[in-house]
Amino acid sequence: MSRSVITIERHIIEAERQFPEATGAFSNILYDIALAGKMISREVRRAGLVDILGYTGGTNVHGETVKKLDEYAHEVIFKALDHCGHLCAMASEEAEDILHIPEQFPTGNYVLLYDPLDGSSNIDVNVSVGTIFSVHRKISAAERGGMEDVLQPGTRQVAAGYVVYGSSTMLVYTTGNGVHGFTLEPSIGEFLLSHPNIEIPSPGQRIYSVNEGNYSRWSKGQQRMVDYMKGMDTENPEPFSARYVGSMVADFHRTLLYGGMFMYPADARNPEGKLRLLYEAAPMAMIAEQAGGMASDGERPIMSIQPRDLHERTPLYIGSRDCVEMAERFLAEDQKGAKPGSGSAAIAAVV
């Protein structure tokens, strides 16, 4: 056995010990998120058996109402944390409005935002999906939190992470002291530290990740950048490789470990992009920055954006710093009305 066996609970406790004033509230939130991740992982891995096991939709063999997996994941997370006494409110991709803590439970000083099962449409074809979470401190005076507590910029996050349900189930999180990955050992139901202190390689592997089906709706700068990465620009000595899963958590996880850049640009049909700021882009941006990478909306850091709405969208460029900086240079030329083919200035300094 080459390395000590460290569970996520042990890792959280050790991290908490660095802060003598810590009350343990924050640690308990992370424990409960890890528990929810284990429960969701179990159901995701059985998804393909729904018909065989008689879970035909309306009710299962036990007469229970069977929910779609993303609704299930939403409820598992809410019910794992609604009574913990450390949250003043929650918000979920699956819920239109803010989620208040039930009256019968105590509240606390943190807010949890989450996408319970991102990419869930891919489950039917056995493609990796994921859960994304973001934790902020409560800032309002009210005991039970409100929109003010939820609509905070990414720079105010105290923790962020995701669970990727792939060839294995991994939980990756940061509390502002580096990024750490834990792999679920199903036989004992424990997340074990497998990727301590993850850093995005920069220059990383020359991988770009974007849905090129949107090419015709992109800006000229966006089109020129992708043309460059594909080697269609004579100035590019070495084309990038293209990888696109279509599940953000999977595409980001690969980018975190290998480098390169994942993009979901704005386009003529989605002028604000497709991905959600609060519970998709901002938590991934905290992880990327903590891992030495970068996350931008094409002009400014994702973490700097002051949210206006619970479900607002944002363009996203995230990964190795050199790639995201290149993206900002290409897109800046859109602002200057650059003529097609003038991408050379944006290419400078790209490794």
What's the closest the beta carbon of residue 260 comes to ligand P6P, in angstroms? Answer: 15
Shortest Å distance, C-beta 231 to ligand P6P: 22
CB closer to ligand P6P, 29 vs 123: 123
Burial level of 60, CB count in 10 A (0-12/13-18/19+)? middle
**Among 153, 201, 239, 246, interactor with ligand P6P by CB under 6 A:** 246
Q: 82 vs 118, which CB is nearer to ligand P6P?
A: 118
Query: Of 152, 157, 222, 247, which one interacts with ligand P6P (CB under 6 A)?
Result: 247
Residue 119 in the binding site for ligand P6P (CB under 6 A): yes
d(CA 131, CA 116): 5
Determine the interface stretch with ligand P6P among 104-112, 240-248, 293-301, 342-350 (rule: CB under 6 A).
Answer: 240-248
Our finding on whether 146 is near ligand P6P (CB under 6 A) is no
Give the one residue of 73, 163, 248, 326 binding ligand P6P; rule: CB under 6 A: 248
Give least dist CB 198 to ligand P6P, A. Answer: 20
Distance CA 187, CA 197 (A): 25
By CB under 6 A, how many residues form the interface with ligand P6P?
Answer: 10
Task: Select 10 or 217, whichever has its Cβ closest to ligand P6P.
Answer: 217
Q: Are 88 and 108 in contact (CB under 8 A)?
A: yes
Stretch that binds ligand P6P, among 101-109, 194-202, 246-254, 286-294 (CB under 6 A): 246-254
Q: Which stretch binds ligand P6P (CB under 6 A): 12-20, 29-37, 114-122, 162-170?
A: 114-122
157 binds ligand P6P (CB under 6 A): no
Site for ligand P6P in 174-213 (CB under 6 A): 211
Stretch that binds ligand P6P, among 44-52, 115-123, 137-145, 343-351 (CB under 6 A): 115-123
Instruction: Give the contact letters, 269-308, x = binds to ligand P6P (CB under 6 A), - = no.
Output: -----x----------------------------------
Q: Which residues bind ligand P6P (CB under 6 A)?
A: 118-119, 121, 211, 246-248, 251, 264, 274
